[in-house]
């Protein structure tokens, strides 16, 4: 199996794992986003992931993966997952030996202004819930898509620079500029766990959610709700029935810890790269 194939498998394992409170999984759909949409998104992302493994730039591969992912009826299924997976796939291919945080950091630090432009173009393929830009940089709002590219170019901002600017508001951006700290810690937990891999992923998801509030929940519902969700997740750890009840409650309230799911998918990829078998 190639790194690109392992990345697609990680996307499939992530959505198949259950319970993941607030998220689509094999037992739960949301009102407008279903399990099948995630399966189709994982398949559609394949060309972009293969590009990441075959010398395409991070931005080019990411935009292609997002465009392919978007070819299903649910809209945005795995934008954040792909933002983490694309540089990890490149790192797995470019560096010998076990995939490390240092490898991933070298990849993201080498990104260019052109990568940033491709990243902004990717927002034209799907609607993505994001926090507002810094007050002093409205011209860099990612929701402007390609209209923001002249501002990127005039300021010479690489994709890594863009992630640095967003790291205080977005958990995936923090992974980029923080050595993929939570991704690799969750991968270690999955590797050290036993049993079916989707079950390991569900436990890793709950641990991640308990340990740090989800930035998508913060963006959509506010910090108070995000902190409460993390406390509920902590209370449910080690109790599958409690985790199931929490899953039902969050789905009913449309509270979706999607950033935590993104990191879980990335962790699954790292675990697969390190030899976890399915």
Q: How far is the C-alpha of 227 from the C-alpha of 206, rounded, in Å? A: 14
pLDDT value at position 40? Answer: 98
Residue 198's Cβ-count burial label (10 Å; 0-12, 13-18, 19+) is buried
**Whole-number pLDDT of residue 98:** 83
pLDDT score, position 229: 98
How confident is the model at residue 77, as a pLDDT?
97
pLDDT value for 237: 95
pLDDT of residue 97: 72
Residue with the two structure tokens 């990441």: 52
Angle made by CA atoms 69, 128, 114, in degrees to the nearest 5:
75
Asked if 48 contacts 82 with a C-beta cutoff of 8 angstroms, the reply is: yes
Question: What's the token pair of residue 224?
Answer: 């108070």
For the chain, domains (ranges, CATH) are 3-101+170-273 (1.10.4200.10)
The C-alpha atoms of residue 73 and residue 84 are separated, in whole angstroms, by 23
Rounded Cα distance between 87 and 179, Å, is 11
- 92 closest CA partner among 6, 10, 163, 158: 6
Cα separation, 133 vs 258, in Å, equals 20
Alpha helices in 26-158 (DSSP H): 35-44, 46-52, 58-69, 79-94, 101-109, 113-122, 149-155
User: What per-residue confidence (pLDDT) applies to 134?
Assistant: 78
Extract the residue ranges of the chain whose pLDDT is less than 70. none
Sequence-distant contacts of 272-276: CB under 8 A, at least 24 apart: 272/1, 272/6, 272/9, 272/10, 273/3, 273/6, 273/92, 273/98, 273/99, 274/98, 274/99, 274/187, 274/191, 275/191, 276/190, 276/191, 276/197
DSSP character for 243?
H
Which one-letter DSSP state was computed for residue 72?
S
Give me the residues paired with residue 25 across strands.
28
DSSP H or E run through 19: none
User: What pLDDT is stored for residue 267 in this prediction?
Assistant: 98
Amino acid 75: pLDDT: 94
pLDDT tens for 159-186 read 999 999 999 999 999 999 999 999 999 9
Count CB atoms within 10 A of the CB of residue 66: 28
Both tokens of residue 42?
A: 């994982």
Alpha-carbon distance of 267 to 191, in angstroms, equals 10
Q: Give me the phi and psi of 128, to 5 degrees please.
A: -125, 130
Could you report how far apart the first and last alpha carbons of the chain are, in Å? 12
Residues 266 and 272: their CA atoms lie apart, in Å, by 10
Q: What integer pLDDT is reported at residue 132 of this predicted model?
A: 82
């Amino acid at each position: 199996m190639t790194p690109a194939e392992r990345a697609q498998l990680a996307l499939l394992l992530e959505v198949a794992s259950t319970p993941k409170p607030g998220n689509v999984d094999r037992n739960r759909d949301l009102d407008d986003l279903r399990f099948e949409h995630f399966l189709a998104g994982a398949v559609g992302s394949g060309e972009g992931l293969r590009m990441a493994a075959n010398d395409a730039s991070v931005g080019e591969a990411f935009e292609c993966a997002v465009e392919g992912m978007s070819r299903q009826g649910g809209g945005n299924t795995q934008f954040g997952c792909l933002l983490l997976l694309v540089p990890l796939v490149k790192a797995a291919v470019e560096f010998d030996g076990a995939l490390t945080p240092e490898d991933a950091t070298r990849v993201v630090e080498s990104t260019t202004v052109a990568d940033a432009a491709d990243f902004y173009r990717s927002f034209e393929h799907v609607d993505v819930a994001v926090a507002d830009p810094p007050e002093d940089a409205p011209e860099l709002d990612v929701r402007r898509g390609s209209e923001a590219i002249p501002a990127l170019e005039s300021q010479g901002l690489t994709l890594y620079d863009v992630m640095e600017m967003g790291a205080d508001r977005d958990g995936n951006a923090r992974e980029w500029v923080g050595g993929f700290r939570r991704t690799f810690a969750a991968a270690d937990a999955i590797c050290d766990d036993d049993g079916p891999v989707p079950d390991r992923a569900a436990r890793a998801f709950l641990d991640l959610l308990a340990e740090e509030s989800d930035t998508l929940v913060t963006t959509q519902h506010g910090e108070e709700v995000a902190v409460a969700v993390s406390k509920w997740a902590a209370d449910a750890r080690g109790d599958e029935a409690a985790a199931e009840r929490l899953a039902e409650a969050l789905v009913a309230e449309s509270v979706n810890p999607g950033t935590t799911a993104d990191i879980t998918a990335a962790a699954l990829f790292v675990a697969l790269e390190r030899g976890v078998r399915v």
